[in-house]
Amino acid sequence: MGQPLHYISSNRVRFHQELHLRPRRVNHYRFLFVETGHGEFRISGEEFEVQSNWLGLLSPGLRENRYSDSKPVSYLFVEFQSSERLTDRRAVEFEEQDPQRTALIALLKTIHVQRGDPDGCLLAAAVRLMFPEVVQDVGPALDVRLQKVKRLIEAAPDRNHRISELAETAGLSEPHLRRLFRTQLGMSPKQYLRRARMEFAQRLMQQEGLRVGEAAHLLGFASVFQFSTQYRQVLGHPPSEDRGAG
Residue 223 is assigned to a structural domain of this protein = yes
Q: Are residues 149 and 107 located together in one domain of the fold?
A: no
Do 126 and 154 belong to one domain?
no
For 62, the domain range is 5-130
Q: Which neighbouring-strand residues pair with 74?
A: 14, 36
Residues 153, 157: Cα–Cα separation, whole Å:
5
Which residue in 54, 68, 74, 67 sits closest to 12, CA to CA?
A: 74
Asked if 129 and 140 touch (Cβ cutoff 8 Å), the reply is: no
Please determine, for residue 144, whether its predicted confidence score (pLDDT) is greater than 90.
Answer: no
Q: How confident is the model at residue 235 (pLDDT cuts 50, 70, 90)?
A: confident
Identify whether 138 is part of a domain. no
Share of the chain above pLDDT 70, in %: 93
Crossing angle (nearest 10°) for helices 189-207 and 163-170: 100
Q: How far apart are CA 56 and CA 40, in angstroms?
A: 14
Position 54 pLDDT exceeds 80: yes
Same-domain status, 40 and 150:
no
